[in-house]
């Protein structure tokens, strides 16, 4: 039994470890550091109550059709018209097992299963989903499937955050910490 557990867990730990060793880059998917509000992460209610929960990313504004690039390389795990909230969405599993989410795209250039280098074109900026009524933008979010439990009690963002959404803070990282400051 002990041997079986070793055989099972050692490769899993090695694979998780390799994910943490991969270098992580700080690039803008499009636009510049002034194309988004650095305080918009966890602002509540950013969407005036339509989604009900705090804003889980930042909105990078720009012209429709602007090229959107992979902020980090990785494996495309989702590329489709998701629903009328997200519209066209691309999710890329990157370094440190973080999932980079690009939402409200006009066009998608990548498919599920594609391996991307940092800076690859993944699509174009648009206003699909519930971005129809707002200026065109990419909603960019970073999700970690490995929870950061210490974040549960840390206040972040602006606005009154209902405590019932605290669990979400363990899974959604502030993209402003992972984007260039200038
Ligand atoms: Zn957004």
Q: Where are the domains of the chain?
A: 23-178
CA separation for the pair 90, 69 (Å, rounded): 11
Cis amide linkage into residue 8, ω under 30° from 0:
no
pLDDT tens-digit profile, the chain (182 residues): 778 888 888 888 998 898 888 888 888 999 999 999 888 888 866 655 456 778 899 999 999 999 999 999 999 999 999 999 899 999 999 999 999 999 999 999 999 999 998 889 999 999 999 888 889 999 999 999 999 999 888 888 766 677 888 899 999 999 999 999 87
Check residue 164 and give its pLDDT. Answer: 85
Check residue 107 and give its pLDDT. Answer: 97
CA of 139 to the centre of ligand 1 (A): 4
Closest of 144, 150, 145, 181 to residue 166, by C-alpha: 150
Check residue 161 and give its pLDDT. Answer: 74
Give the Cβ contact number of residue 31 at 10 Å: 17
Residues near 163 by Cβ (< 8 Å), separated by ≥ 6? none
The CATH-assigned architecture of domain 23-178 is: Distorted Sandwich (2.70)
Ion ligand 1 — residues with CB under 5 Å?
59, 139
Paired sense of beta strands 67-69 and 121-124, if any: antiparallel
- The helix or strand, by DSSP H or E, that contains position 60, with its residue range, turns out to be strand 58-61
């Amino acid at each position: 039994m002990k041997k079986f557990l070793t055989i099972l867990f050692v490769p899993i730990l090695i694979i998780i470890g390799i994910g943490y060793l991969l270098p992580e880059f700080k690039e803008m998917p499009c636009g510049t550091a002034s194309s988004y509000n650095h305080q918009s992460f966890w602002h509540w209610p950013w969407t005036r109550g339509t989604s009900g929960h705090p804003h889980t990313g930042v909105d990078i504004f720009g012209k429709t059709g602007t090229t959107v690039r992979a902020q980090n390389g990785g494996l495309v795990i989702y590329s489709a018209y998701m629903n009328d909230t997200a519209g066209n969405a691309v999710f890329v599993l990157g370094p440190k097992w973080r999932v980079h989410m690009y939402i409200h795209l006009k066009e998608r250039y990548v498919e599920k299963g594609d391996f991307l280098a940092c800076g690859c074109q993944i699509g174009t900026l648009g206003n699909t989903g519930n971005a129809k009524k707002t200026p065109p933008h990419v909603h960019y979010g970073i999700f970690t499937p490995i929870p950061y439990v210490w974040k549960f009690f840390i206040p972040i963002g602006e606005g009154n955050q209902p405590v019932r959404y605290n669990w979400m803070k363990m899974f959604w990282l502030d993209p402003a910490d992972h984007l260039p400051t200038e």
